[in-house]
């Protein structure tokens, strides 16, 4: 007779893995340490594999344990989502929606989308993770994020996730107000400058690589930044150039931190996509929040490059 994994065993395993100890998991679950140890042993016996290595300071996952952990987390998240979906279908609009957003979306669309959503459902919690897509893949896989709106470059994830383009944003080059190259009008004039660029693991970095190659430029990328905040602060206080979404430039313009370098060559447009797991339909509340973002994106005006001489820009 095949071994049947029980829910309490999965939950015990995940909590022990997260805490790195039986004691910590015991406190979180409100279960005695002997009962928790028994659940783990039964699970290991049934699986026919050792999932933890016992150490003096707690436990650590084995290779098999690490593999099982990914699946176990997904099972728990799927059960949570299934419970919430059923409750929401029956009219009980409670629970939590977990979303990931690129920084530009967080600064532009998110405040209105969340405010409109919570006016309808003030009892629903929303968790927001900000960053690039590459930093969210694991949470999307595990069901810890319901969706993300982010830039995307064709790669290895098409089979796992669906990608729906919502809008495009144009990027531009920015520098401090008195940067030696602030009056440059061609990309070739920036060849000797140092750059602070988005993470090489991010989608837009790859588009910029292709852009530089087309113009036969090999930029000196001295710093890569995971956040726009880092890029802005570095460019404002040094001779580094950086690239940022044009629509983010308005706030920084008023603060007098950066100015757009108005070269004639237009930087690539960045596509922003709604990204979800292919194998899991959204809960009713998740679908509703997505509809708020879709509606706002539909009313976004196309990005018009800055052209007026002397105009300062920033994110």
Give the pLDDT confidence score for residue 154 in this predicted structure: 75
Express each pLDDT in 204-227 by its tens digit: 888 888 999 999 999 999 898 888
Q: Is residue 83 very low, low, confident or very high in pLDDT (cuts 50, 70, 90)?
A: confident
pLDDT at res. 253: 62
Average pLDDT, the chain: 86
pLDDT tens figures, 126-147: 999 998 888 899 899 888 899 9
- Confidence (pLDDT) at 250: 66
In order of their start, the domains of the chain are: 7-82 (1.10.10.10), 90-166+272-298 (3.40.190.10), 169-270 (3.40.190.10)
Q: What is the pLDDT of residues 17-58, one digit of tens each?
A: 988 988 888 888 888 989 989 999 989 898 899 999 988 788
Rounded Cα distance between 224 and 227, Å, is 9
Tens-place pLDDT, residues 259-297? 999 999 999 898 999 999 988 888 888 999 999 999 999
CA distances in angstroms from 249 to 45, 85, 91, 232, 265, listed in the order given: 58, 40, 42, 10, 18
pLDDT at 241: 95
* For the chain, percent of residues with pLDDT exceeding 70: 91
pTM: 0.70
- 203 pLDDT exceeds 80? no
Average pLDDT over residues 11-21: 89
Average pLDDT over residues 171-194: 93
Tens of pLDDT along 87-128?
Answer: 767 776 678 899 999 988 998 999 999 999 999 999 899 999
Please say if the pLDDT value at position 159 is more than 80.
yes
Strand pairing class (258-260; 161-176): antiparallel
């Amino acid at each position: 007779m095949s071994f049947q994994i029980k829910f309490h065993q999965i939950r015990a395993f995940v909590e022990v893995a997260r805490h790195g100890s039986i004691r910590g998991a015991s406190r979180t679950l409100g279960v005695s340490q002997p009962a928790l140890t028994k659940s783990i042993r039964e699970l290991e016996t049934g699986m026919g594999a050792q999932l933890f290595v016992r150490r003096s300071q707690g436990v650590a996952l084995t290779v098999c344990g690490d593999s099982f952990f990914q699946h176990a987390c997904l099972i728990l998240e799927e059960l949570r989502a299934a419970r919430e979906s059923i409750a929401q279908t029956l009219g009980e609009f409670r629970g939590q929606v977990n979303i990931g957003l690129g920084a530009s979306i967080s600064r532009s669309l998110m405040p209105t989308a969340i405010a409109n959503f919570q006016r309808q459902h003030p009892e629903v919690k929303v968790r927001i993770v900000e960053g690039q897509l590459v930093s969210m893949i694991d949470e999307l896989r595990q069901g810890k994020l319901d969706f993300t709106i982010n830039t995307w470059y064709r790669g290895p994830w098409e089979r796992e996730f669906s990608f729906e383009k919502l809008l495009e944003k144009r990027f531009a080059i920015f520098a401090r107000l008195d940067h030696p190259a602030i009056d440059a009008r061609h990309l070739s004039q920036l060849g000797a400058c140092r750059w602070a660029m988005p993470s090489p693991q991010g989608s837009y970095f790859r588009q910029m690589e292709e852009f530089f190659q087309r113009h036969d430029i090999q930029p000196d990328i001295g710093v890569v930044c995971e956040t726009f905040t880092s890029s802005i602060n570095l460019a404002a206080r040094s001779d580094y150039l950086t690239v940022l979404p044009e629509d983010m430039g308005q706030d920084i313009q008023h603060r007098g931190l950066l100015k757009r370098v108005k070269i004639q060559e237009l930087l690539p447009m960045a596509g922003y996509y709604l990204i979800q797991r292919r194998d899991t339909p959204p809960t009713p509340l998740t679908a509703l929040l997505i509809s708020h973002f879709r509606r706002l994106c539909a009313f976004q005006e196309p990005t018009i490059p800055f052209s007026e001489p002397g105009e300062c820009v920033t994110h």
